[in-house]
Structure 1
Amino acid sequence: MSGEPKTELTSVDLAAFVTEFGTYEGAKVDKAYLYGDDLLRLKMRDFDRGRLEVILEVGEKKRAHTLSPERVPDAPGRPPQFAMMLRNRLSGADFVGVEQYEFDRILEFVFDREDGTTRIIVELFGQGNIAVTDAEYEVIDCLETVRLKSRTVVPGSRYEFPESRLNPLTVTRKAFDHEMNDSDTDVVRTLATQLNFGGLYAEELCTRAGVEKTLDIEDADETVYGRLYEAIERLALDIRNGNFEPRVYLEDGEDDSDNDGEDGSDDTDEHNGTGRVIDVTPFPLEEHVELAGEPYETFLEALEEYFFRLELDADEPDPRDQRPDFQEQIAKHQRIIDQQEGAISGFDEQAQAEREKAELLYANYGTVDELLSTIRSAREDGVPWGEIAGRLDEAKESGLEAAKPFVDINGKEGTVTIRLEGEPITLVVDDGVEKNADRLYTEAKRIAEKKEGALAAIEDTREQLEEIKRRRDAWEADDSDDDADGDEDEDEPRDWLSEPSVPVRKNEQWYERFRWFRTSDDYLVIGGRNADQNEELVKKYLERGDRVLHTQAHGGPVTVLKATDPSEASSSDIEIPDESVEEAAQFAVSYSSVWKDGRYAGDVYIVDSDQVSKTPESGEYLEKGGFAVRGDRRYLDDTPVGVAVGIQCEPYTRVIGGPPSAIEDRAVTTIRVEPGRFAQSDAAKRIYRELRQRFADESFVRKIASPDQIAHFLPPGGSRVVEE
């Protein structure tokens, strides 16, 4: 048996997830991260189990599961607005619980903090969505706005769940019979649609109940209904009680249930499947008897392993096509080693400190014993803890030897803190000197054992580091061979859209925090995003020979057409081609209020850098970001607006945007926009999805072009994509 791997969790999967993840109630949220426009990661801390990572994805994969820290993806660059909003609302919040809405593929996570309640509602069906609401279900923000006749999900409105469906896990026998009798098809289709089980679990229930799947409803009697209802009840009971036997199913091999020996022992090794992963379930399924099934302790572990291996099966790049970033990997492992070595040094110091405290107790045995005996005797006489502390303070001031080490008493804990040779030591009053010293020696031993574990971990890290270096050397050797052999196709352009794996090559420049593009003649053009940046451009980056452009309309950016690159000497003798000037003018008008007003053209003037000054004329005042222009201006009337956004793959991989004539020759694919009614963020999301679909390596676009990064290249105001 084989088929396409499951990429979306079923309603049964989500019910099992809720049961297991609910045990993390009380965990605290540290941070939220958004990857692309469909994957949310919550970093949390559980009091008993430590760091907790949660993945919620609502794109092509629809999943919810925990993730081991070592598998956590690197944090994206600048967090988008959605992630920042979540951090502001959830940092330090307590996880209250998670519920599945009815039997639908919707999860509702609830978090509490002193300043209020936050709900994260994750829709794992259809197009997928994540909505964040307050305690009253008012939407704070959402990844996708929904405006349908049946429901609305938009910021500021009350969140509306989809129309309620029958929950088969809580259905009564009477309601079950009614739903079955209302059907006009066979048993399995009725369970799948009327009872909302979906195809796989409808078939599984028929098999477990011993009912023929294709049996027509008209031919099903009370006995058939009874067996099916009992199978549903057993499934519901197992989910409610967490009676799971999770399996990850693989395409090849035999099911592990067939490998039991006569004595009932299982002779198979865990995780020995060799095929690609096909499914993950909270129970062994008879419908998957022909698949190899790997058992797991918990369903959360099985979910993590399944989706981890699913990504490996689908996305693992061919090492011949993409050179790993060995330098970054080596640096990362070296940082880990440095941290581990620091921890080991700290363990040594902590263990030694505990041993020295124990030795100080024995060195001052008589004094410590007398102090502890005095406190115990007073407690036996009913003296309150506070009064005992007062008496010891008085005795200490009077110079009584046994009271000299006394520092403080904690009556609630039944402990006393003393100081010996400058070292504070906390003792349990009811224990003698020996027991307190043994406790300190035991603590020193525990710390030493932690050191042993850290030493083993550092050896593992060093081995991984050596393996990375070995792979790097092998790559470099292959590169040398390739160089020696020559490349006859060196000048042939690569079809980046069809590449199964596009290597990421970044080279961030100082000007990328401004609006920017390079003209067709490779001149750099920079524009301010706000008054502060306009001010900075004129004061700091405007040089001799540069041109300054600005729209006649109020509210445009300062646009600087650089005559030379920052690394070159400035010159006033450089003649800038007309095409570059026209592109800079189009840039200036497109990112001005002209676009925001929905107009398609505007007037722009251009002056030399020495005509621009931050010093106003006498009696005049310059606002922040403003400047004075002296001398003649050259006008470019009716300059058309025009913006394209695209993906550049050579020499670096990044989003670029600006006048179409300048962008389209530099990018491997572009999308044009014009003034329209869609908000900047909505237009950016649409462009992001379209760009992802154009690349065979869809993960590549996610790595370099989030919706937020795309929005940086869109003009302020509404836009719409130009259909080609």
Structure 2
Amino acid sequence: MEPKRELSSIDLRALVTELGRYTGAKVDKAYLYPESLLRLKLRDFDHGRVELLIEVDECKRAHVADAEHVPDAPGRPPNFAKMLRNRLSGADFVGVEQYEFDRILTFEFERGDEDTRIVAELFGQGNIAVLDETGEVVQALSTVRLKSRTVAPGAQYEYPSSRLNPLEIPLETFSRRMDESDTDVVRTLATQLNLGGLYAEEVCSRAGVEKTLDIADADESTYRDLHDAIARIDERLRSGEFDPRVYEEDGRVVDVTPFPLAEREDLPSESFDSFNAALDDYFYRFDRDGGGGGKDGGTGAAEPEKPDFEAEIAKQKRIIEQQENAIEGFEEQAEAERERAELLYANYDLVDEVLSTVQSAREEGLSWDAIGETLADGAERDIPAAEAVEDVDGSEGTVTIRLDDTTVELDATAGVEVNADRLYQEAKRIEGKKAGAQEAIESTREELESVRERQAKWEASDGAPTDADAAGEDGPEGDGDASDAEDADREIDWLSRSSIPIRTTDDWYERFRWFRTSDDFLVIGGRNADQNEELVKKYMDKHDRFFHTQAHGGPVTLLKASGPSESSEPVDFPDASLEEAAQFAVSYSSDWKDGRGAGDAYMVEPDQVSKTPESGEYLEKGGFAIRGDRTYFEDVPSRVAVGVQCEPVTQVIGGPPSAIRDRVATSVDLEPGMYAQNDAAMMVYREFKDRFADQSFVRKVASADLIQEFLPPGGSELIE
């Protein structure tokens, strides 16, 4: 049996009941680990130290953990963790809710100056969004921009369309939904009633109904037994009377449930006092046994350990299976859209009559409600066109009709041909997603093959360190002191080392955009209007240089002559540093966001920059007036490199390629393109994982979250 990696909707319903007992706990600190694991450390009067874990990567879970099961604090906190610490430190935990019957939890925190909500999406790709008191997204682990919803900083958070809740529907609705199915009972419960495979089987067992019973052979008595079984589960969830179990198979954990299941009675199990405790035990053992990979927050092992090749191979196979299922789904969706388009043409006269009727009524000034009532009257009089109408939505300007048991939503302002063409275009768009998924499969297969090759090399060498692994250690004579000078001059092959020590730093400028030029001058830029203001007012010195793009919407960029606490002297900046600062200003501006391959920038002295506008003009926040002559840099390429630095510190850095390449063990160049920032970051992360032998090192110092800090706003493309 494949071990459980995600909590079900029923699991979350039970979890919410138990998490309520921690209401009133105060937040101490927030941590974010590379594998999209969020840890909130709280203090509670009754329970003492409370460790809340939320994970949205391959494992999707939320629960309170034993202090001994919590990973060590990671190194330098990423911006997401810093933002949470600023908003949550000292805040009170006031409760958690499950959204409808979805795998979404909303955690609420209150503080005198501001309230915060954390939304954990424990489905699909997984995500964590942080909202302010108005519901606006402050920050999210992943930006989502879909036709149906948007999750992005500055936008109002939108929950996905809610699903049918099988725990709350009356028997009449339950029976109707079951009757609409054309498959067997257990599949209907799993998909149409949203119970999922395991609990659909459990309901059948508790109701004494054969799982494979065809819906056509089910009757009201069958439905009543099934509905009663679901009601008993709901009653147990509401009461909080759980008997949590962790199930094992062949010595490893495979499932965790809030109460014993008939479907698991053949497996050995362990009982726990609370569902939280059961979840904590399950996922701790799951991680420890290699089910989900470790999340060690330490500084790297001194001795090389065998990478968990089998777990990585299994992971890549799962990804390929998911991608193949996605392709199959795209094919079905595209075919369904084409069938709808063809139905419009097959019923051309009827569809045209519906659209013409609605359009004429709107021209006459009838409201959408009145149109709906007119069509309903026509249906009662057996008018075919009116009978076909299922819904009229004035807010969207649409009419939904049913043709041959298929519903089609129509733009009421357009004709049959336009609506059919829209459906054909949607089919093409979905097929485009299929092509993208096929490319992704090839990429994953290549990554799978790469893992297998590394495994073969490791086994061929019997796990012995290579010469590159031993660089910097005692030489063959065993005289470490004598070889120190040689080691200092020898270039270390960081990519091949099986273990890379982690050395971190926490410099003042790291909260801004930054890089060091090829001549080692510091360049810093603002991430937003507030930081632009701060850079000019607090960090711009008279001997620095100020850069900005000609295009509106770019960071204030400072080429620093000295640090904040250093004495300032005039500097004759080399041309290379000036050009790199200009490229930095262009690449992180709206030029990149708008997909332009190049842009213009200018440079001025600090005394030419002012917050005082010209007479009759207004300066918005983060804007400045520039007076006097400017030095222009024209047709500057929009291009950045992101790399992994291994010495003297281990970190991700990014900026103009010429300034980055010589400082890192490896790098990736990017230009404006089609992939969203978070997707591009994940692609770069996978590229780094493929290049480094020490996979643990990459997870700790070059996670997708850390890489994303150095990517320009907007879409990107990796350059081969």
Following superposition, the deviation at residue 66 of structure 1 comes to 0.6
Choose the corresponding residue for 1:686, options 679, 684, 690. Answer: 679
Q: Please tell me the residue identity of whatever aligns with 1:166.
A: L
1:568-617, Cα deviation, whole Å (9 max, x unpaired): xx9x9x998x878865664576568976897655678999xxxx99999x
Following superposition, the deviation at residue 518 of structure 1 comes to 5.9
Choose the corresponding residue for 1:42, options 40, 43, 54. Answer: 40
Whether the 8 Å CA contact 1:206–1:228 is kept in 2: the answer is yes
Choose the corresponding residue for 2:275, options 272, 275, 299. Answer: 299
C-alpha spacing 1:174/1:300, structure 2 compared with 1 (3 Å): same
1:527-565, Cα deviation, whole Å (9 max, x unpaired): 1436876899886999xxxxx896896986343699xxx
Choose the corresponding residue for 2:645, options 648, 664, 667. Answer: 648
CA distance, structure 2, for counterparts of residue 122 and residue 87 of structure 1: 19
Q: Please tell me the residue identity of whatever aligns with 1:655.
A: V
Partner residue in 2 for 1:704: 701
Following superposition, the deviation at residue 29 of structure 1 comes to 3.5
Choose the corresponding residue for 2:122, options 124, 127, 132. Answer: 124
Q: Please tell me the residue identity of whatever aligns with 1:657.
A: G
CA distance, structure 1, for counterparts of residue 682 and residue 235 of structure 2: 41
CA distance, structure 2, for counterparts of residue 235 and residue 500 of structure 1: 50
The correspondence of residues 598-613 of structure 1 with structure 2, limited to 5 A, is 601=598
User: Would you say 1:170 and 2:172 are equivalent positions?
Assistant: no
Choose the corresponding residue for 2:289, options 310, 313, 325. Answer: 313
1:211-249, Cα deviation, whole Å (9 max, x unpaired): 322121122234433432332222222212222221222
C-alpha spacing 1:234/1:707, structure 2 compared with 1 (3 Å): same
Whether the 8 Å CA contact 2:167–2:230 is kept in 1: the answer is yes
User: Would you say 1:93 and 2:92 are equivalent positions?
Assistant: yes
C-alpha spacing 1:238/1:76, structure 2 compared with 1 (3 Å): farther
C-alpha spacing 1:194/1:38, structure 2 compared with 1 (3 Å): same
SS at match of 1:524: coil
Partner residue in 1 for 2:522: 526
Q: Please tell me the residue identity of whatever aligns with 1:250.
A: E
Whether the 8 Å CA contact 1:614–1:627 is kept in 2: the answer is no
Partner residue in 2 for 1:202: 200
1:447-503, Cα deviation, whole Å (9 max, x unpaired): xxxxxxxxxxxxxxxxxxxxxxxxxxxxx9xx779884999xx9894646xx88765
CA distance, structure 2, for counterparts of residue 115 and residue 518 of structure 1: 37
1:30-64, Cα deviation, whole Å (9 max, x unpaired): 44444459433333232211222212222332111
Whether the 8 Å CA contact 1:671–1:687 is kept in 2: the answer is no
Partner residue in 2 for 1:215: 213
Partner residue in 1 for 2:26: 28
Q: Please tell me the residue identity of whatever aligns with 1:689.
A: M
Whether the 8 Å CA contact 1:614–1:626 is kept in 2: the answer is no
C-alpha spacing 1:484/1:58, structure 2 compared with 1 (3 Å): same
The correspondence of residues 627-666 of structure 1 with structure 2, limited to 5 A, is 638-649=635-646, 652-664=649-661, 666=663
User: Would you say 1:282 and 2:258 are equivalent positions?
Assistant: yes
Following superposition, the deviation at residue 16 of structure 1 comes to 1.0
CA distance, structure 2, for counterparts of residue 279 and residue 111 of structure 1: 31
Partner residue in 2 for 1:354: none
Partner residue in 2 for 1:344: none
Whether the 8 Å CA contact 2:543–2:606 is kept in 1: the answer is no
Following superposition, the deviation at residue 20 of structure 1 comes to 1.2
CA distance, structure 2, for counterparts of residue 585 and residue 133 of structure 1: 35
SS at match of 1:162: coil
The correspondence of residues 452-471 of structure 1 with structure 2, limited to 5 A, is none
Partner residue in 1 for 2:61: 63
SS at match of 2:73: coil
SS at match of 2:87: helix
Following superposition, the deviation at residue 129 of structure 1 comes to 2.8
C-alpha spacing 1:711/1:99, structure 2 compared with 1 (3 Å): closer
SS at match of 1:8: coil
The correspondence of residues 74-113 of structure 1 with structure 2, limited to 5 A, is 74=73, 77-78=76-77, 80=79, 84=83, 87-88=86-87, 91-95=90-94, 97-113=95-111
Whether the 8 Å CA contact 1:19–1:240 is kept in 2: the answer is yes
Whether the 8 Å CA contact 1:601–1:641 is kept in 2: the answer is yes
Mean Cα deviation higher: 175-184 or 31-40: 31-40
Following superposition, the deviation at residue 17 of structure 1 comes to 0.2
Following superposition, the deviation at residue 169 of structure 1 comes to 1.8
Following superposition, the deviation at residue 301 of structure 1 comes to 0.6
Following superposition, the deviation at residue 138 of structure 1 comes to 5.1
The correspondence of residues 505-524 of structure 1 with structure 2, limited to 5 A, is 505-506=503-504, 517=515, 523-524=519-520
Unaligned 5+ segments in structure 2 are: 305-469, 484-489, 526-531, 610-622
CA distance, structure 1, for counterparts of residue 229 and residue 533 of structure 2: 68
Mean Cα deviation higher: 596-605 or 223-232: 596-605
Q: Please tell me the residue identity of whatever aligns with 1:282.
A: P
Identity of aligned residues (%): 50
Whether the 8 Å CA contact 1:613–1:628 is kept in 2: the answer is no
Whether the 8 Å CA contact 2:535–2:556 is kept in 1: the answer is no
The correspondence of residues 236-635 of structure 1 with structure 2, limited to 5 A, is 236-252=234-250, 275-314=251-290, 315-316=293-294, 322-323=301-302, 484=478, 493=493, 495=495, 503-506=501-504, 517=515, 523-529=519-525, 557-559=557-559, 586-587=583-584, 590=587, 601=598
1:245-277, Cα deviation, whole Å (9 max, x unpaired): 21222331xxxxxxxxxxxxxxxxxxxxxx332
Partner residue in 1 for 2:367: none
Following superposition, the deviation at residue 143 of structure 1 comes to 3.9
C-alpha spacing 1:666/1:212, structure 2 compared with 1 (3 Å): farther
1:339-383, Cα deviation, whole Å (9 max, x unpaired): xxxxxxxxxxxxxxxxxxxxxxxxxxxxxxxxxxxxxxxxxxxxx
Following superposition, the deviation at residue 289 of structure 1 comes to 3.8
C-alpha spacing 1:615/1:302, structure 2 compared with 1 (3 Å): closer
SS at match of 2:124: coil
C-alpha spacing 1:101/1:661, structure 2 compared with 1 (3 Å): same
Whether the 8 Å CA contact 2:117–2:131 is kept in 1: the answer is yes
Following superposition, the deviation at residue 7 of structure 1 comes to 1.7
C-alpha spacing 1:221/1:482, structure 2 compared with 1 (3 Å): farther
1:306-362, Cα deviation, whole Å (9 max, x unpaired): 22222223324999x93279xxxxxxxxxxxxxxxxxxxxxxxxxxxxxxxxxxxxx
C-alpha spacing 1:20/1:531, structure 2 compared with 1 (3 Å): closer
Partner residue in 2 for 1:365: none
Unaligned 5+ segments in structure 1 are: 253-274, 326-475, 543-547, 617-623
* Count of residues in correspondence between the two structures: 515
C-alpha spacing 1:213/1:587, structure 2 compared with 1 (3 Å): same
Whether the 8 Å CA contact 1:534–1:557 is kept in 2: the answer is no
C-alpha spacing 1:196/1:510, structure 2 compared with 1 (3 Å): closer
CA distance, structure 2, for counterparts of residue 669 and residue 101 of structure 1: 43
Following superposition, the deviation at residue 166 of structure 1 comes to 2.2
Whether the 8 Å CA contact 2:642–2:660 is kept in 1: the answer is yes
Whether the 8 Å CA contact 2:515–2:524 is kept in 1: the answer is no
Choose the corresponding residue for 2:17, options 16, 19, 22. Answer: 19
Specify the structure having the higher radius of gyration (Cα). Answer: 1
Following superposition, the deviation at residue 193 of structure 1 comes to 0.9
What is the TM-score of this pair, normalised by structure 2? 0.58
1:73-98, Cα deviation, whole Å (9 max, x unpaired): 41653462575367436733351x32
Q: Please tell me the residue identity of whatever aligns with 2:255.
A: D
1:635-688, Cα deviation, whole Å (9 max, x unpaired): 97654343111223456421121222443465455343445799xxx73x3343
Q: Please tell me the residue identity of whatever aligns with 2:717.
A: V
CA RMSD in angstroms comes to 5.1
Whether the 8 Å CA contact 1:557–1:592 is kept in 2: the answer is no
Whether the 8 Å CA contact 2:18–2:276 is kept in 1: the answer is yes
Partner residue in 1 for 2:181: 183
1:94-138, Cα deviation, whole Å (9 max, x unpaired): 51x322222211223334455675443322112323344456645
SS at match of 1:200: helix
